[in-house]
Structure 1
Amino acid sequence: MKAAVVTDKGVQFTDAKKPAPKANEILIKVKAASLNRADLAVASGHRHGTIGGAGTIVGLECAGEVEAVGAEVKDFKPGDRVMSSAAGGFAEYAVADSGRAHKIPANNMSYEQAACMPVAVQTMHNALVGAGRLKKGESVLIQGASSGVGLLGMQIAKHMGASIVMGTSTNDGRRAKLAEFGCDLALDTRDPKWPEKVKEATGGKGVDVIVDQVSGGVMNANMEAAAILGRIVNVGRLGGMKGEFNFDLHALKRIDYIGVTFRTRSPEEVRAIVQAARKDLWPAIEAGKLHLPIDKTFPLAEAAEALAHMKGNAHFGKIVLVT
């Protein structure tokens, strides 16, 4: 098969060994795959959890048709249209743990649209509902809201009953579009008064749940914006791996600061997260109420160009590869 493979000369579209499904896995004939920020790290030779290094097939999620199933798989059969988080998704074939996979809704959802959903669904549902313990009527702030994951996160927060949903972006054009995806108040973190605007929007209380995809220099401002007994969920660190931390403010507000990642989770933990997300969100996904915009589509053979497009950071929504 052909795949986008990490080499010492960068990502190249070349021959790779076709995978075979283990007992609990499905083999997917890939129709589309979407890009995530972690793909940039893998493409540059770094590791992301257990994957990485020369010879690695890039990609974390895809959609396609089941070609074969392992001996223990009961919920899928050859011919099923599926989407799944799957290492090595930038290829003509990929394998996925059947417990991570979803059948594509029979509502005319395209493979391109389906490929955008798995990582965003499991990441943001877990951040908001699992780690963040979001309750109906509480307020939510998504840091880095114009990313694909962020856009879905705002929609999930609304769907789960959040009273007010806020999102941040330092790009004026992207920030103007956030209202289309459930954002009640769009904020620019370059404005030093943004935490005060959060407090004004919440009647002086502060925000109950912050999903932080930025970290770095926004940590103390997050705590300023947070309510007493607020929860801050550390999902990403696109703005920096380190930053100042006001320990007294953290204690004063009795904030829960929670770190999450899928890199150290067991297969059983991931399956439970996927099932919880499906229970809460699947009717809305089937009805087309939760969706992500596609910024640009590339042929699979142009995976390196697609990664360069993401690195340029000029996109809004998801970047998709098609076979």
Structure 2
Amino acid sequence: MSETMMAAVQEGRGVQIREVARPVPGPREILTRNHAASLNRADLGMAAGHAHGAAGGAGSLIGLEWAGEVVATGAEVTRFRVGDRVMCGGLGGYAQYGKVDERRAMALPSSGMGWQEAATLTIALRTMHDALRLNGGLKAGESVLILGASSGVGLMGLQIARLLSASVVLGSSTTQEKRGRLAEFGATGTVDTSAPDWSAQVLDATGGRGVDLVVDMLSGPGTNETMRATAITGRIVNVGRLAGARAEFDFDLHALRRIRYIGVTFRTRSDDEVGGIISAVERDLGPALAEGKLRLPIDRVLPLSSAQEALDEMKANRHFGKIVLDCS
């Protein structure tokens, strides 16, 4: 096995494909021969030189999600063996090889699943199961709104909400064409958040009550409108800040509606915490995954050498679902 590999490396305001040292797994890490990597919004910040957790800046390897075959294991690894097919969430996925703590990896759920499909799943599964079930406390029969539903993570959220027997599952997008496709992934209705009073659409869909649970990947200036769309004693789980990290917050509205406002991120979670979430995903969603009931559309596949082009495509926001890099 060569001691070097090709990988996307942060440089200036973008990435370059370079030959770098192949990673060496630590005691609880696995080394994978990567076959495919999937793009995520956080990759844009890393590619621009912004830190993600402890990583970031010039020379950093890019990519939070990939799928591949285990080719080496650390001395303390117990979950996987050489030859296992895995999908991973870590750092440095846009590369021919990747290393990750075993607690942040999952076995491919079926023998028939391809590398490209597997590369799209890990982050969406753990993010949305954590938001809907572990933090959102979703119960059968409750109503859900996914803000930013046309993203890969959002599309997975719609599917998981239906799998967990939500009665109403609403998804938002500002693009009519994308809203038109949300029903394919479990949405019972859609919301156009470009309208200034879009909460009225949610109230109409819920008999004036509002939704029990909002998974918010937008935040920003629309937060007060989100609270107006939330039922009294409902919950909002703040997953992302795509519309802005700061905005005016109506504390009186928050109190009047007695909303539980919950913030989540994976950037400050330990390997043990992430491992616990992965175990919950495998327990609750494993059968549906194995049966192909949870999936994400792949908008396009580009070679690893076109990593910067792929990032530019994601930044332009013209895609629906996931953009994937072929790392083979």
TM-score (norm 1): 0.98
The one-letter code sitting in structure 2 at the alignment partner of 1:177 is R
Please state if 1:271 is matched with 2:279.
Answer: no
- Asked if 2 retains the 8 angstrom alpha-carbon contact of 1:11 and 1:43, the reply is yes
Output aligned runs, 1:286-301, within 5 Å.
286-301=290-305
**2:21 is aligned with 1:17:** yes
Within 5 Å, which residues of 2 pair with 1:120-269?
120-269=124-273
Q: Give the superposition deviation at 1:71.
A: 1.0
Which of 81, 85, 90 pairs up with 1:86?
A: 90
> Does the Cα contact within 8 Å between 1:63 and 1:115 map onto a contact in 2?
yes
Aligned residue for 2:182, secondary structure, equals helix
Name 2:39's counterpart in structure 1: 35
Q: CA deviation at 1:197?
A: 2.2
Contact persistence 1:139–1:163 (CA under 8 A): yes
Please identify runs of 4+ aligned residues in structure 1 that moved more than 3 A: none
How far 1:49 moved relative to its partner? 1.3
Within 2, Cα distance between the matches of 1:206 and 1:9? 42
Amino acid at match of 1:290: L
How far the C-alpha of 1:107 sits from its partner, in A, is 4.2
Deviation for aligned residue 1:176: 0.6
Structure 1 residue 9 displacement after superposition: 6.5
Secondary structure of the equivalent of 2:21? coil
Which residue among 38, 52, 59 is the counterpart of 2:56? Answer: 52
Contiguous gaps of at least 5 residues in structure 1: none
Distance 1:201 1:16, change over 3 A: same
CA offset digits 1:134-156 (Å, max 9, x no partner): 11111000000000000000000
Q: Secondary structure at the match of 1:82?
A: strand
Q: Give, in angstroms, the shift of residue 194 of structure 1.
A: 2.5
Tell me if the contact between 1:58 and 1:90 (Cα under 8 Å) persists in the aligned partners. Answer: yes
Instruction: Compute the displacement of 1:192 (Å).
Output: 3.1
Q: 1:243-288: per-residue Cα shift (whole Å, max 9, x none)?
A: 1211111001110001100011111111111111111111101100
1:108 to 109, 112, 115: 112
Structure 2 unmatched ranges of 5 or more: none
Partners of 2:289 and 2:13 lie apart in 1 by 40
Aligned partner of 2:6: which letter? Answer: K
Task: Write the distance in 2 (CA, Å) between the matches of 1:9 and 1:216.
Answer: 25
Aligned residues: 323
8 A Cα contact 2:197 2:225, kept in partner = no
Q: Deviations over 1:174-221 (max 9, x none)?
A: 111101000011110122342122122222221010000011121011
Q: Is the 8 A contact 1:234 1:260 kept in 2?
A: yes
SS of the residue corresponding to residue 16 of structure 1 reads: strand
Aligned mates of 1:296, 1:213 — CA distance in 2: 23
The percentage of aligned residue pairs carrying the same residue is 56
Q: Are the counterparts in 2 of residues 213 and 235 from structure 1 also a CA contact under 8 Å?
A: yes
CA distance in 2, matches of 1:235, 1:193: 22
- Per-residue displacement from partner, 1:289-309 (whole Å, max 9, x unpaired)? 000000010101111111111
CA distance in 2, matches of 1:177, 1:293: 11
Moved more, 98-107 or 108-117: 98-107
Contact 1:5 1:56 in 2 (8 A): yes
Secondary structure at the counterpart of residue 238 of structure 1 = coil
Q: 1:107, 1:287 within 8 Å by CA — same for their partners in 2?
A: no
Instruction: Give the AA of the match of 2:22.
Output: K
AA of the residue aligned to 2:226: N
Q: 1:147 to 1:300 in 2, by over 3 A?
A: same
Residue identity opposite 2:126 in structure 1 = Q
Is the CA contact (8 Å cut-off) linking 1:64 and 1:82 kept in structure 2?
yes
8 Å CA contact retained: 2:12, 2:48: no
Which position in structure 2 is the counterpart of 1:283? Answer: 287
What TM-score results when the alignment is normalised by the length of structure 2? 0.97
Note the aligned Cα RMSD (angstroms).
Answer: 1.0
